[in-house]
A and B are shown apart, each in its own frame.
Chain A
Amino acid sequence: MSTSAYRATLAGPTVRGWLRRPGLLLSCLFLLVVAVAVTRPSLLAGADPLHGQIGERLRGPEAAYLFGTDHLGRDLFARVVHGARLSLAATGLAVALGAVTGTLLGLAAGYRGGVVDAVLSRLTDVLLAIPSLLLSLAVVTALGRGTVNIAVAVGVGSIAAFTRLARAEVLRVRRSDYVEAAQAIGIPWWEVVARHVLPNSAAPVLALVIVEFAMAILSVASLSFLGYGAQPPTPEWGVLIAEGRDHLATSWWMTTLPGLTVVALVVSLNRIARAVQGR
């Protein structure tokens, strides 16, 4: 590493550092816009997402309607912006469920070892043996339709990935010499976990949280698209794309533009996750 690059890593992000990674900069800016859409949607889109004007049906993208209008004359951009809250709330719930349960199980397996580890690891193997979408579908079948239910379903489907990663990280850090050195000094195990194991395993787990959040956006959208989540006319990203299906031949924007929004968000999140991992 050159001296200047070395100083840069010490000083933290600088303007020039950001400019050298334009992808990361764009990703963060886009995330900021999405954050506004979630918290204050009307700042971005003034139009009513639920009621359209019949005279303005199926208009292509133009200055007045950035994303065009749908078959009921509703502003699609407003529907995408207002749909962010529901879509991302469901995603957040799913990831929270998966991450908390999975990480706790992984910590227990990695740190306790022995029988606990054996049982949890086999359980994870079984969970991974069922494709996660099928597992989610089974949960939806049992709980019934609805946004909260598909969030739970997606969360259950992602537990195994978190368990596996958390366990591997704990084992990696735990086997390292510096953790053993701390134990060899006589530091009690709970302090070793708090001071050495957790801080050193946090970055990969955080990166996985972001990646899984991105994946969960796709899963939630898929389940909504299949019709198990929010029901029309509620704006939700998967539902919006599904509504465009019937107008595929005539109105390309109805599926393409909401879809591109989802893609942009997922790409941005993956880019940020890479940065968290230090790559």
Chain B
Amino acid sequence: MRPGYVMTRLAQAALVLWAAWTLSFVVLYLLPGDPVRILASGGLENPDLDPARLAQLRADLGFDRPIALQYLTHLADALQGDLGRSITSGQPVVEVIARAIPVTLPLALASLAVAVPVALTIGLLANAVRARWAAELAFSTPALIVSVPTFWLGLVLLQLFSFRWHLFPAASTDSLAGLVLPAVTLGLPNGAILGQVFARSLSQTLAEPYVQVAIAKGLRRSRVIVAHALRNALIPTLTVLGLVVGNTLAGSVIVETVFARPGLGRLIARAVTVQDIPVVQGAVLLGAVVFVLTTLVVDLLYPLIDPRIAHTAPAGTRS
């Protein structure tokens, strides 16, 4: 891999982050809806606000200045790591987010630990097992899982495993047992999405002429799948894994609400309810950071899996 390629990808990543930040600024500050009124209301519906106080606040927060100037000031602050202060608590957004990460990170990792084996099972069941019912099951189950609302899946799991069978605690942040149901709720749909892609990609790969040639070489089916098909089938799956990891933060908003876990997702959900603009913007930026980092890692991993990529255009620029 050329160092130039890595540098180009890093520059692209930075550009995407800037654009995502800008987009969130446009959405949060330019859409109809008065940010100052939102800020001053403290999350209440139609509070009685003194116009003089509003004007004062407007000036204090710099909202009376031209929009371009506001954008540049905010951007300059953001570049120095200052994302503003939360309206409800008054604490710096960076700190608020940093405090919530240790709760959400184990959930995210555990959900991946659920998703990846689920995906591998689906893919192999669909292709490596000769029985027809196995393939049918492996192709139809993921379609069913992705049709289920995540929050409802969480509630049904709670109902069955906590309230009916008392296998796992309903809400427990510190125990490992308390992590099981949230991780399954978050991981199962992701595993289904990944599994669909992996199964399809594996069955396409198995139809490739080089796989037929490998069989004609007298290799056993297991060896054909492991040595020839798997690595090729992983290439598109890895891209989707990047997307899935990027979406974990969004998924945690729902899962942490259902299971009452005080992590990032819960923080975002509350910030939206009270219209805490700086926190929401911080969350959007964090989502973009996670996404950009994972796709970056995936892109840098590609040449290790697929020797063709090291010689052609960088994967990220192809659309």
A–B in direct contact per CB < 8 Å: yes
A→B interface (CB under 8 Å): 121-123, 125-127, 129-135, 137-144, 156, 164, 214, 218, 221-222, 225-228, 238, 241, 244-245, 248-249, 252, 255-256, 259, 262-263, 266-267, 270
> Of A127, A131, A156, which one neighbours B249 at CB under 8 angstroms?
A131
Chain A residues near B24 (CB, 8 Å)?
A: 130, 138
The answer to whether B149 and A218 touch across the interface, beta carbons within 8 angstroms, is yes
Q: B19 to nearest A CB, angstroms?
A: 4
Cβ A141 vs Cβ B147 within 8 A: no
Among A221, A245, A270, residue most surrounded by chain B Cβ atoms (within 10 Å): A245
The answer to the question of B167 belonging to the interface, with a C-beta cut-off of 8 Å to chain A, is no
Query: What distance in Å separates the Cβ of B125 from its nearest Cβ neighbour in chain A?
Result: 20
Interface residues of B (CB under 8 A from A): 16, 19-20, 23-24, 27-29, 31-33, 35, 38, 143-144, 147-152, 155-156, 158-159, 163, 246-247, 249-251, 253-254, 257-258, 268-269, 271-273, 275-277, 280-281, 283-284, 287-288, 291-292, 319
Least Cβ distance of A171 to chain B in Å? 10
A270 contacts across to B, CB distance below 8 A: 143, 147
| Docked-complex contact B16 and A255, CB < 8 angstroms | no
The answer to whether B31 touches A139, judged by C-beta atoms less than 8 angstroms apart, is yes
In the assembled complex, which residues on chain A have CB atoms less than 8 Å from the CB atom of B257? 225-226
Residues of A within 8 A of B28 (CB): 138, 141-142
Residues of A within 8 A of B149 (CB): 218, 221-222, 225, 238, 241, 259, 262-263
Of residues A126, A142, A143, which shows the largest number of chain B Cβ atoms within 10 Å of its Cβ?
A142
Note all chain B residues with C-beta closer than 8 A to A221.
149, 151-152
Provide the residues of chain A in CB contact with B280, threshold 8 Å. 137-138, 141
Q: Are B20 and A129 in contact (CB under 8 A)?
A: yes
Q: Which residues of A contact B152 (CB under 8 A)?
A: 221, 241, 255, 259, 262-263
Q: Is the CB of B275 within 8 A of A141?
A: yes
